[in-house]
Structure 1
Amino acid sequence: MKNFKLALLPFVLFSTSAFATTEVMTYKSPYCGCCTEWVEHMEDNGFNVKIEDHENMNPIKQKLGVEPRLASCHTAVIDGYVFEGHIPASDIKNFLAEPRDFKGLAVPGMPIGSPGMEYGDQKDKYQVVAFKENGKLALFNTHN
């Protein structure tokens, strides 16, 4: 039985440390409090977040292929995928767990109750959409 436990140990350490080193490059306005709260949400969920503040986010969004209909206040990049807005860390983890033919995920706008946009007991129903380079969208998840 002792050998069995030792055989599992490297796998557990590898899988835990591999996720803990997932780096998130986040582009945001220096004046946006909800972006800072989303960063904290991501860090609380095991992501290593780096921040780059920009006065004008439009050039960043254009460079990364975020269409205006998908826009929110901050944009993040993980392993080449683009994540726009207040996406729950659990959705990002699920997305990254399976390679997909999508450019990334987005939560358009700033829905109340999404990570970083908490406001008491209020919660808007909102959708997380997956988007492709060609502009096609697919529903990824719905939150109530």
Structure 2
Amino acid sequence: MRPPQKRIDFQRDDKVEVCSNEEGFIGSYYEATVVSHLDNGLYMVRYKTLLEDDESQPLTETLFPKELRPVPPRVHSSNFSLYQCVDAFDNDGWWVGRITGQSDSSHYLVYFESSNEEIAYHSSKIRVHHEWLHGEWILSD
């Protein structure tokens, strides 16, 4: 039996990532800032890259705590290994994939199982993947 997920009480201005549960976006994470912790236990967040429908300002949403996680530790790397699990920044969010090759000294091919796509990214748009498990960041294999 797995231990229960450790609960984090985020505070105003905390940087977080929001897990998307929308079809076509499952497994992607979007950077946001906590605006407030509501009396009903929900959080209001303001996204860093997502905009309101009229594109006039950053999107603000009210979310359940289970949809939030702290920002993962940044492991600075410009060299990735074949089949290494990484996150690639695309379409305003971070997407989980695996390194499948290198097209030149600074561009890597990343394969996304969820969409069966392979896309080249500059190393600056790739980060080492971590999993948030039981209140701790675990380096993914």
TM-score, normalised to structure 2, is 0.26
Structure holding more strand per residue: 2
TM-score, normalised to structure 1, is 0.25
